Amino acid sequence: QRTGTEMTEGLVTGDKGIVRCWWPGGHADYLAYHDDEWGRPTTDDTRLFEKICLEGFQAGLSWLTILRKREAFRAGFAGFDPATVAGFGSNDVERLLGDAGIVRHRGKIQSTINNAARALEVADEFGSLAAYLWSWEPTVEPRNPDDPIPATTPESTALSKDLKKRGWSFVGPTTAYAFMQATGMVNDHLPGCTLHAVVEAERAALLRPTR
Catalytic residues: 33, 55, 63
- CA 77 to centroid of chain Cα atoms: 16
Helix, strand or coil, per DSSP, at residue 11? strand
CA angle, corner 151, sides to 109 and 192, nearest 5? 120
Contact of 75 with 121, CB cutoff 8 Å: no
Helix, strand or coil, per DSSP, at residue 19? strand
State how beta strands 11-13 and 19-21 pair.
antiparallel
